[in-house]
A and B are shown apart, each in its own frame.
Chain A
Amino acid sequence: MKRILALLLAAVLLLALAGCSGKKTSEAPVDLKNVYQQMQEKLPRMMELDETMQLNLLGIRSEDCAQAVVAIFADGLQADEVWLLEAKDAAALERLTEKANSRVAAKLDETEFYLPEQYAVVKQAQLITRGNYLALLISPDVEALQAIFETGVK
C-alpha cells in the first residue's frame, strides 16, 4: 500500500513538474525584433532608434527593458511610430507606460493645429500591455499592427 501511495505521489509530482515546464515553454521570451519585422510591410520607411536615442527622445531607459525595438517615421512629419518593449519587471513596465503616454500627448500637441491628418492618426494610437510586454502603435494601419502584436505575444 505504501508503495502504491509513493508511486502515486511520484506520479502526481511528475505531472506537476511537467505542467510547470509546459507552462515555461509557452512563456519563452517573444522575439520583439521578429514581431517588428512582421509589422514592417504595414509601415512606411521607418528608422530604428538606438538606446541613446530611445532615452533622449522618448525617455526609454535601457535598464528598464529586457528588449526594446523602437522605430519612428524616417522621412518627415508623418506620425508613424512603433514601440515594442519587454519590461524587466512590473515597476519598469509602469515607468515605460508613463513614457508612452507622455509621447502620445506630445504627438497630439504637435499635430493638433498643424498637421490635422496626422493628428487623426495619433488619436487612434494603441498602447497595449500583455504581461511585461508593451506596444505603442501609431499608424494609419494600427489595427493590423495590433493584430500582429497580439499574435506575437500570445
Chain B
Amino acid sequence: MKKMLSFCLVLALLSGLCGGAAAQREEFDGELFFTVSRIELSVVGESEDIYIGSLPRELVTWESDDESVVLFEDGVLTATGVGSTTVRATCGIQQLECQVSCLAETKEALMAMDKQAIRAPKRYPPIVDQSVNSFFQDAAIIGDSIAYIMYQYETQLGYLGHPLFLVRGGTSLNGFVLHYKNIYYKGDEIYLEDAVGASGVKKVFIMLGQNDLGYRTIDETFQSWDILLERFLERNPNLEIYLQSCVPEWKNLYEGNSKNDTIRAYNQRLKEYAQEHGYYFVDIAPYIEDHTGRMATVYSMDSSIHLNQEGCVIWMQALNAYAYWKTMGEVV
C-alpha cells in the first residue's frame, strides 16, 4: 500500500511539474518556426540548424520519429543513418513538423547514386499563409534577367501580391553604378537609384551580383554595393534594404563547380555585409541548390543561371516565408 501511495505521489509530482512547464510555455509569447518544411541531408554526420522561431529553444521539446535516421536536438538536425523520418518541435499547444531524409552513408556513396537523386533540391521553404504577401506591397524587387523571369511568374500567380519590379536583363551592380545600364521605369530609361526614389517604395529586395562575378572580383563587387546602396539611401534614408543571396548556377556534374564556389563565397560575404551595415539578408540560395551545390535540375530553365517556373515559385515561397518570419509577433 505504501508503495502504491509513493508511486501515486511521484506521478502527481511529475504531472504537476509537466503541467507547470506546459503552462509556462503557453504563457510565453512567441512562435515555432523552421527554415524548411522538408530537407534532405546528403550524408550521415551532416548537421543543420533549422530553428528560427521566436520561442526560446529551451522551452521547446524536440523529437525525432526515428533517431536511427536523424537526431533532433535544440533545433539542430544530425543525420545518423540513411532513410526518412519526421521531426517535431512542441511547445504548449504549438507543434511543428518537418520531413527529413538522409541520402547516403558517405560522400562517395552519395556521388555513386542516381543523378536524379543528387540533383534534386535539398531544402524546401516553409509554406505560409499567402496573406503575408501584403509585406511586399510597398516593396520593389530589383534584379537582372533572373528576377525578370520571376516577374513573369509573379504577374501570373500573384504570390507576392504584385510588388513593383525594377529589373533589366544582362545588368550588373557595376552597370547600375557606372550608369551604363539603367532601369526602364514607366517607359523611360533612368538611373536605378532615381527609379527607387521616384517609385516611393519603402523596401527593396535586391538580387544582383551574378553578372558581376563573371568578370569582377568579390571585392570589386562590394565596392559597387557601397556606392549603389548609399545612393538609394540618399533618395530615401528610411528605405529598408533586403539583400538576397545569389542563386547557384546549373552545371553538369562533369563540369567544374568553381563559379558556384565563388557564388557561395560571395553570398557569405553578402550576409556579413548586411549584418555590418544594418541591412537584411534573405538567403534564397539554399532552397535552390542540390546535393552537389549546383542549381537543382528541376529548377533550371536553360541549364544556366535562370530559374524556371518551379524555381521561381520556390523563390517566392522563400520570400513569403521570410516575410512571415520577419513579421512574426508584429502583424501575424
Contacts and interface: CB of A to CB of B under 8 A. Distances in A.
Interface in A63-106: 72-77, 98-99, 102-103, 106
Contact of A72 (B152, B165, B185, B188): B152
A75 B168 CA distance: 16
Interface residues of B, number: 24
Contact of A59 (B148, B152, B164, B188): B188
A74 B169 contact: no
Nearest to A77: B145
Interface in B114-169: 145, 148-149, 152, 155-156, 162, 164-165, 168-169
Chain A, interface size category, equals: 20 to 34
A117 interface: no
B170 interface: yes
Greatest chain A CB density within 10 A among B145, B169, B181 is at B169
Contacts of B168: 106, 110
B170 A110 contact: yes
Contacts of A74: 152, 156
Contacts of A59: 184, 186-188
B291 interface: no
A75 to B, nearest CB: 7
B251 interface: no
Interface string B158-197: 0000101100111000000000010011111100000000
Contact of A114 (B170, B185, B187): B170
Given A76-B301, A113-B170, A60 B187 contact: yes
Contact of A47 (B156, B169, B186): B156
A56 interface: yes
Does more than half of chain B's interface fall in helix, strand or loop, or is it mixed?
mixed
A106 B170 CA distance: 11
Interface in B40-60: none
B262 interface: no
A126 to B, nearest CB: 19
B189 to A, nearest CB: 7
B294 interface: no
Contacts of B149: 76-77
Contacts of B184: 57-59, 102-103, 106
Contacts of B301: 76
A97 B36 CA distance: 48
B309 interface: yes
B187 A53 contact: no
14 contacts: A47-B155, A53-B155, A59-B184, A59-B187, A75-B308, A77-B149, A102-B184, A106-B189, A109-B170, A110-B145, A110-B169, A111-B170, A114-B170, A115-B169
In the A-B complex, list the 9 residue pairs whose CB atoms are closest, starting with the nearest: A59-B187, A110-B169, A99-B187, A59-B186, A114-B170, A106-B184, A110-B170, A58-B187, A76-B301
Interface of A: 47, 49, 52-53, 55-60, 72-77, 98-99, 102-103, 106, 109-111, 113-115
